[in-house]
Amino acid sequence: MSNELKRKAVHVSMIAWALLIGRIAPWQVNMICFLALLFNIFLLKRITSGTLEREAERQQGYSIGLLAYPAVLLMIGLIWHDKQIVMAIAWGAMAFGDGFASIIGQRVRSPKLSWNPAKTWAGFLGFISVAFPLTWFFVVGLLPESLREGASLQVWTTVIFIAVIAGAVAESQEGFVDDNIAVPIAAAWMTALALRFPQVFAPLPADWLWGLAAVTVFAVGSVALRKIDAWGGVVGWICSFCIFLGGGWTCLGLLFVFFAGGSLASSWKIDRKREIGAAQENGGIRSVVHALSNGGVAAACGVCAWLFPQEAMMWKVMLAASLAAATSDTFSSEFGTLYGRRFVNILTLRRDERSKDGVISLEGLAWGLAGSALVAVVFALGLGWTWAVGVIFGTGLVANLIDSALGAGLQRQGLMNNHSVNFCTTLAAALLVRVLWVIGS
């Protein structure tokens, strides 16, 4: 058996531990995940002699995938400690879907995905066709019935299908977060939303047709002006409408500020950027991965604001903070590269090369401050000058610094790329708002 098949066999077989969900206390399940993380860090490589690692992982000394597997399950278990069926479904999507997608994709010849030529339709459809029935059987047939909280079989079938689709989409993205992180997080988040299934049919905003028309014009215009490719336009259209659902015209305006400001910043003095090797790839035309890495968190917050109206303001502030972080980061990198004079590594504060990952300048920080402030001001004009405006401004700027730190650390080591760093930056801004909200309440 090849190393890759051994790796996948172990990957899938670990689902057996999930049989304990519902049979032991949630804290005990989380403790098992924590112990598994320690095992993978200190013992797994010694026991297997590195046979579960890919060649590139052997060269760097460790495998981010093997470490992420138990770590992300632990995170999901802690976040949804009172709904551990969320962990069970996310675990199934990761173990079955991600485990079989690459095997099927490598062995069945089929067209490549238009949004990611590195992966195929066989792998994408294989993920869904394997993960859905196996996860369904695992959750419905093998776990205690009490976990399902009395919901009908039809409801749980729908929830699992939605989660698997989310996991398959996350797995198919190019240059995004490691699959062992992206798949379970996407599946868990969609499971948590789908668990409020009856609320999915809550009334749409009174002006939803106008909102739908606006985001359609926005998406079509962006594709026509070659600011984003066709598939990116479709995903951007979905994200935009999700933002409108919960955030209304104000939050949709924040998205426009980010997109228009980011496009302007990327094209500003593009010839000079090409000379110094700082121009955005593909001539500045954005794609699916750009839409998700910069707007995915905002879209999720928009849906949450719609589904949970009692907490709508919190989700709107989280949405705004994520876009403030994205705008701040874009302004810092695009304008700071051009106008910066003294560049230093954010972690060492030593002089470093212009436009390298994790390099900052005072001018770049000033532009980042302007980007975060711009989003905060637009939020205030739409929803009022409250303390939330300062939170949006501050968290956007702090997340921008987190972006630089990730760039100087993990990205330079090849453990992350620009898209995964951008996603983590917007997520960090939203989570900072959540923490401050809890502290202040």
Confidence of residue 133 (pLDDT cuts 50, 70, 90): very high
Would you say 147 and 87 are in contact if contact means Cβ atoms under 8 Å apart? no
Q: Give me the pLDDT at residue 175, please.
A: 59
- Cα separation, 156 vs 318, whole angstroms: 29
Give the side-chain half-sphere CA count within 13 A for 384. Answer: 5
Q: Give me the pLDDT at residue 280, please.
A: 63
Bridge partner residues of 360 (DSSP): 344
DSSP one-letter code for 203: P
**For the chain, percent of residues with pLDDT exceeding 70:** 90
Would you say 355 and 276 are in contact if contact means Cβ atoms under 8 Å apart? yes
Q: Give me the pLDDT at residue 52, please.
A: 65
Residue 198, pLDDT above cutoff 70: no
Q: Give me the pLDDT at residue 95, please.
A: 92
Per-residue pLDDT tens digits for 299-351: 999 988 988 888 899 999 999 999 999 999 999 988 888 888 888 989 888 89
Per-residue pLDDT tens digits for 363-404: 989 999 999 999 999 999 999 999 999 999 999 999 999 999
Whole-prediction pTM value?
A: 0.71
- Cα separation, 159 vs 196, whole angstroms: 10
Please name the amino acid found at residue 211.
G
Please state, rounded to an integer, the average pLDDT across all residues of the chain: 86
Q: Give me the pLDDT at residue 135, please.
A: 96
Mean pLDDT of 155-178: 83
Look at 291-295, 354-358, 429-433 and tell me which has the smallest mean pLDDT: 354-358
Look at 45-54, 207-216, 356-365 and tell me which has the smallest mean pLDDT: 45-54
Q: Give me the pLDDT at residue 54, please.
A: 65
Residue 1, pLDDT above cutoff 80: no
Which of 365, 373, 405 has the alpha carbon at shortest distance from 392? 373
Look at 161-170, 191-200, 333-342 and tell me which has the smallest mean pLDDT: 191-200
- Cα separation, 332 vs 434, whole angstroms: 25
Q: How many Å is the maximal CA-CA distance in the chain? A: 63
Please name the amino acid found at residue 274.
R
Residue 258, pLDDT above cutoff 90: yes
Per-residue pLDDT tens digits for 201-225: 457 788 989 999 999 998 899 888 8
Residue 57, pLDDT above cutoff 70: no
Which of 134, 119, 215, 214 has the alpha carbon at shortest distance from 176? 119
**More confident position, 268 or 186:** 186
Q: Give me the pLDDT at residue 326, please.
A: 95
Residue 359, pLDDT above cutoff 70: yes
Which of 107, 161, 106, 172 has the alpha carbon at shortest distance from 129? 161
Confidence of residue 283 (pLDDT cuts 50, 70, 90): low
